[in-house]
Amino acid sequence: MRLGLGAKFTLTVLIILAGTMAANTLYFLKTSTRFHEEQLVERGRALGRLVSLISPDAILGFDFLLLNDYTREVSSQRDVVYGVIVNANGRPLSSSINDADPLISRHLEAAKSKDILKLLQQLDGEAELIQLQFPITHNGLMLGRFLVGMSRQSLQSEFHRQLVVQILVLTAIVLFLITAIYAVFRFNVLFPIRKLIAASEEVGRGRYTLVEVNSADELGLLARAFNAMIEEVRQEQAKLHRQANFDVLTGLPNRMMALDRIDQEISRSRRSQQRFAMFFIDLDNFKSVNDSLGHAVGDELLVATGARVQATLRDADTVARLGGDEFLVLAPDVADEVQVEEIAERLIRAVSEPLELNGRKVVARCSIGIALFPDNGENVEMLMANADNAMYQAKSMGEGSAIFFTEEMNTRLHERMQMEQDLNLAIESGQLALHFQPIFDAAARRHRGAEVLLRWHHPERGAVSPAVFIPLAEATGQIVGIGDWVLEQACRSWSGWHKAGIDPGFLAINISRIQFRKRFSQRLTELMSMYGIPPQALELEITESVLLDDHHQVAEELNSLRAVGVTLSLDDFGTGYSSLSYLKRFRFDVLKIDQSFVAGLPHDPDDVSLVKAILAMAKGLDLKVVAEGVENHDQLSFLTLQGCDLAQGYFLAKPMNDEEFLNHLTSLQPGAEPLRISATHN
Ligand code: C2E
Ligand code: MG
Ligand code: MG
């Protein structure tokens, strides 16, 4: 059995109280009994002294009547059992026995026979009897003795009576005290403790109630400390709740909270049979603001965007920051697409309002993907995925656009995902192959090398263009493995031809931005030494987008490649975002003019002046130039005339598989004539 604090305390106090009081009472009863016994003995002694004082005369005068009077008088006294006067020889001269005394009634026979000596003999050693004797003398002569017997009976009955009274009184006192103590204990200790227990249990259930502080004692201090702790826990909980559900930077609900709100909105809309709209907002130029103006300004831009988006919305709408530069808006109860479109336009306008950040005027632009409930998804995941999908579509349409999710997007998304899966198997199942497109001396039309171009022969789709699958592989990171495969395959091919005594010239390999980030130069040197490739046999084609990455890292990697001795070529020049200053900062050997500029030659005045300008600048910077996408004679003539070093294009040679390329190479071997391109490839 488990005892409560109150029961334990009461029991302890009860035992201590009862114990001490019982000991005290016992002591009291003992001393009082001893006192009464002494009084009894004293009374016996007084009687004895008196009788032994007055008896000699009666003994000497043989006045037995008087002696009888004495003994009768003595035995009639309270507590006296007998009074006997014996002579010097011990023979009784006079005796009186108190017949009514219970002691005597026990020895009734002896008493009845009046054989006093026998009676005395029987009474000898009785615990209840005090036997006293006093000598009776006259002038120093022993005349006899006076024997008196006192009964302890009344003493004992008094003791018992006292005992009962004391026990009753004691019990009453103990009960009274214990009740009083328990009441005080209950009120002052148990109640506050129970309140603390109840409050602690509430904390366990997530409810924070303070307890009343009524006293300044230890329990009061405990209650105060408990309240302080509760306050702290409450604040900490609130902080955790904020951290878990709100974005620290903008103070807006975060992704977790957003998901929760969408869930609630779905339930609400189901009940009310209403539609709601979900907007995925992504800033288009956030990265460039972050990179060019610093993270602090980037943060300011996010805070300002959040605030502006919120300001354009109704009270019932929700805005959340999903992470990075992504925001989500939930607009409940929308009537139709027109209303949704209006909201999207308002959002775009609000975001693109010019901002003053750190003394600089910044104009943010965003793309918005829109999904409607229940039209574009029945649950949170579907709605999120579809709004996200629509947002990417909006991004591809250019800055500051909003787009509704459509089923067609979904199909494209699924195709993309399928392709991503297929691409995983492409290397292993031998679906990838390298093609080679020769690059020629523009003026002499002599073979100088070839660009390595990747081909994917999909078992169902047929040939998939690298323009389609390379961006996908870059987005998923698969390009790292694929790029490595291309690099090794190219090295293997070169070394195979070389061993066979065929000179393929240089091989220009396209390197993706993603691949470039992964300690590329180290891998390249490994492969070069493995296949015995001299550095002049390799050219690396890097697009301008590489230069937009972390400048320091890019410069370092380019320097390592330069140290290896391979040729560095800037591909698709003019299509990216790089400025001329990049050309100065990052040293390249070759510039490849993108085919879009070559296409308009020699008639389009814009293309003409652009190509002329690129060629002049390249000369100034001591760079060789390759023109891509040369498709006809006029283009080639123009380029040759303008001093373009090298040319590549269908007019000169199309990309070839390795067998075709080998044939092409063997036809070039010593003794073979320079190609008569116009005749063979027109
Ligand atoms: P790019 O590096 O600019 O490659 C030149 C593209 O122009 C090739 O397309 C080539 O077939 C095409 N081309 C060549 N001459 C002509 C012409 O006279 N007219 C026209 N219209 N096009 C011509 P392709 O092979 O489809 O490759 C497209 C892009 O895919 C490449 O552009 C390159 O950026 C990328 N790529 C191809 N192979 C690889 C690779 O192994 N790794 C990486 N990272 N990217 C690759
Ligand atoms: Mg290229
Ligand atoms: Mg190119």
Query: pLDDT, tens digit, for every residue of 218-229?
Result: 888 999 999 999
Residue 344's pLDDT is 92
Check pLDDT > 60 for residue 444. Answer: yes
Q: Measured from the CA of 655, which atom of ligand 1 is nearest?
A: 11
Which one has a higher pLDDT value, 337 or 532? 532
The residue to which tokens 């909105």 are assigned = 265
Q: Is the pLDDT of residue 160 over 50?
A: yes
Q: How far is the CA of 665 from the centre of ligand 1 (A)?
A: 21
pLDDT higher than 80, residue 679: no
Burial class (CB in 10 A: 0-12, 13-18, 19+), 564: middle
What is the structure's pLDDT at 35? 93
pLDDT of residue 416 exceeding 90: no
Q: Ligand 1: which of 464, 470, 573 to mutate, most ligand atoms within 8 Å of CB?
A: 470
> 337-352 vs 295-312: helix axis angle to the nearest 10?
140
Ligand nearest to the CA of 574: 3
pLDDT grade for 111, boundaries at 50, 70 and 90: low
% of the chain beyond a pLDDT of 70: 96
How far is 586 from 556, CA to CA, in rounded Å?
Answer: 10
Give residue 414's pLDDT band: very low, low, confident or very high (50, 70, 90): confident
Q: What are the pocket residues of ligand 1 if the criterion is a CB atom closer than 6 Å to any ligand atom?
A: 437, 453-454, 465-467, 470, 483, 486, 510-512, 541, 571-572, 595, 628-631, 648-650, 655
Q: Does the predicted model carry a pTM greater than 0.75? A: no
**pLDDT score recorded for residue 133:** 92
Tell me the per-residue pLDDT of 594-646, one tens digit each, with 9 for 90 and over. 999 999 999 999 999 999 999 999 999 999 999 999 999 999 999 999 999 99
The tens digit of pLDDT for each residue in 544-591 reads: 878 776 677 788 888 999 999 999 999 988 776 556 777 777 889 999
Cis peptide before 602 (omega within 30 of 0): yes
Q: How confident is the model at residue 682 (pLDDT cuts 50, 70, 90)?
A: very low
Q: What is the mean pLDDT of residues 249-276?
A: 94
Q: How confident is the model at residue 681 (pLDDT cuts 50, 70, 90)?
A: very low
Distance between CA 123 and CA 107 in Å, rounded? 8
Pick from 330, 323, 214: nearest CA to 277: 330
Q: With 60 as the cut, is the pLDDT of residue 657 above it?
A: yes
Quickly state the pLDDT bin for 673 (edges 50, 70, 90).
very low
Residue 670, pLDDT score: 64
Instruction: Supply the residue whose CA is at minimum distance from atom 11 of ligand 1.
Output: 655
Which residues are within 8 A (CB) of 8 and not within 5 positions of it... i.e. 6 or more apart?
none
pLDDT band at 204 (very low <50, low <70, confident <90, very high): confident
Q: How far is CA 287 from the centre of its chain?
A: 31
pLDDT in tens, 112-147: 777 888 888 888 888 889 999 999 999 999 999 999
Q: Strand (E) positions, 266-351? A: 276-283, 318-323, 326-331
Model confidence at 675: pLDDT above 70:
no
Identify the DSSP state of 545: G
The pLDDT of residue 678 is above 60: no
Closest ligand 1 atom, CA of 630?
18
Task: Give 632 or 677, the one with higher predicted confidence.
Answer: 632
Instruction: Kindly report, residue by residue over 341-373, the tens digit of the pLDDT.
Output: 889 999 999 999 998 888 888 888 899 999 999
Ligand 1 atom nearest to CA at 454:
38
| Gap from CA of 641 to ligand 1 centroid (Å) | 25
pLDDT at 125: 84
* Best probe residue, ligand 1, of 453, 456, 681 (max atoms within 8 Å of C-beta): 453
* Cis check: omega of the bond before 135, within 30 degrees of 0: no
DSSP string covering 71-119, please?
HHHHHTSTTEEEEEEEETTS-EEEEEE-TTSHHHHHTHHHHHTT-HHHH
Q: Report the pLDDT value the prediction gives residue 264, as an integer from 0 to 100.
A: 95
pLDDT at 515 over 50: yes
β-partners of residue 84 are: 95, 147
User: Which of residues 634 and 678 earns the better pLDDT score?
Assistant: 634
Location of structure tokens 């249990």 = 201
- Quick one: what percent of the chain has pLDDT higher than 90? 56
Q: List, for residues 464-490, the tens digit of each pLDDT value.
A: 999 999 988 988 889 999 999 999 999
Check residue 54 and give its pLDDT.
93
**Would you state the structure tokens that stand for residue 491, as one six-digit string?**
């090295």
Q: What is the pLDDT of residue 576?
A: 66
571 alpha carbon to ligand 3 midpoint, in Å?
A: 5
The better pLDDT of the pair 113, 280 is held by 280
